[in-house]
Structure 1
Amino acid sequence: MALPADNSLPVDLRVVQSKVLHGRHDIPEYRGGVRGDYVKINVDMDADLTGLWNWNTKLVFVDLVAEFATPTHPANAVTIWDTIIYDADSANLRLRGIQNKYALSTHNHKLKEGQVMNLTLQWNIVPWVGVMRNQRQGGRIEQFILPA
């Protein structure tokens, strides 16, 4: 099965809950905690990635990316969740309430209420033979605003 040219695989992302925590937080990625802003996001995701599989697909690395702008950095992209899919039988994702695995934080209190963020699903197709392909979901991107 060939991959659609416009990456229009069925992907539906919904932010169930998001909140911004301020101050010092014990984030596993940083020893001793972090002083700054930290966003917790819960997402429902339905993604049928079976169209990525053919005879040459070894595995697919999938990641969920939050993209946003701050006054000092107009383009920020942070991977907040990922998984590896090893076969086509596991490529139909129906996930509820997944929380970000990786820290979405700033060290300078730049994430404020009303901050607009976009969530995008990306994937890397690792072939048995040939070049790895990086692609993003096409069509609608989930946009949400950070609450107070």
Structure 2
Amino acid sequence: MYSSLVRLQNTFGFFTTVAFVVAAIIAASDLLAPRAPVVNTLEANNVQVATGRPHYYSNKKEEYASIRFTLDADLSSLFTWNTKQLFVYVTAEWPAAGSENATNQAVIWDTIITSPSADHLMNVGPATMKKLRKSAEGKSIDPSRGKISLKNQRPKYQITHPSGKLAEIDDVVLKLHYNVQPWVGALTWNQENLDVGLWKRLKGGVSEKFAFPAIKKKKEGGEKAKV
């Protein structure tokens, strides 16, 4: 006869197998949900370059760029019943000097959009949490989640470069990226060049090219002029 320990091990092994199979089915169900993310507008509004010290004790100044932007995107199709949250971020990208294939990339803004079932994980104040709970009442998926509309948005992060130089650089573009984080399954990133079944590649998501301006310096008398 089997001992109590053997029976316990067999029971645990059975439930572990069942849990694994259920998790695999849940993860595979994402492939049956269509994805068609669209970026209608992404453009730089106000680009400035200034100099500053990277920290208080530094004697060397570096150039920093600040980019305001407008974004209108519909990423709501990325939310399914298995979506925990969506990480969205905007980068500024430009060709690396002296290399044909290398690209400089820096994040200027990001946000996390939770699904109604994951709102409790948000580290927000009571007023914001109350709004989230109200919008999620009776819904497994909120159709308004994933719709982003920003006008002349201030960047969260100023950007710099290891060389300390950013002024008068051409061919800069803004790009939108996303990362879908499911409750069960693998993380998936934005598709830029390929459709995979019902998952369509991101439409739009790249701004027109622009340039970092020259740094403005003060003239004698307090007036400002470009270098």
TM over 0.5: yes
Higher helix proportion, which one? Answer: 2
- Whole-angstrom distance in 2 between the partners of 1:140 and 1:130: 25
Unaligned runs of 5+ in 1: none
Instruction: State the TM-score, normalized to the length of structure 2.
Output: 0.55
Deviates more, 1:35-44 or 1:83-92: 83-92
Structure with greater Cα Rg? 2
Q: Residue 166 of structure 2 aligns to a residue in which SS?
A: coil
2:95 corresponding residue in structure 1: 69
Q: 1:15 aligns with which of 37, 44, 58?
A: 44
1:108 corresponding residue in structure 2: 163
Q: RMSD of the TM alignment (CA)?
A: 2.2
Deviates more, 1:36-45 or 1:70-79: 70-79
Higher strand proportion, which one? Answer: 1
Q: Are residue 54 (structure 1) and residue 80 (structure 2) matched?
A: yes
Structure 1 segment 1-148 matched on structure 2, within 5 A: 1-4=33-36, 9-22=38-51, 24-25=52-53, 31-32=55-56, 35-72=61-98, 74-87=102-115, 88=142, 89-135=144-190, 137-139=202-204, 141-142=206-207, 143-148=209-214
Q: Residue 51 of structure 1 aligns to a residue in which SS?
A: helix
Amino acid at match of 2:97: P
Unaligned runs of 5+ in 2: 1-32, 116-141, 193-201, 215-227
- Whole-angstrom distance in 1 between the partners of 2:40 and 2:152: 16
Cα distance, 1:46–1:90 mapped onto 2, change above 3 Å? same
Which 4+ residue blocks in structure 1 deviate beyond 3 angstroms?
136-140
Check the 8 A contact 1:42/1:97 in 2, yes or no. yes
2:224 corresponding residue in structure 1: none
Task: Write out per-residue CA displacement over residues 35-64 of structure 1, whole angstroms, 9 at most, x where no aligned residue.
Answer: 211001110111111111111111100000
Instruction: State the TM-score, normalized to the length of structure 1.
Output: 0.82
Identity score, percent: 29
- Whole-angstrom distance in 1 between the partners of 2:81 and 2:74: 18
- Whole-angstrom distance in 2 between the partners of 1:131 and 1:94: 28
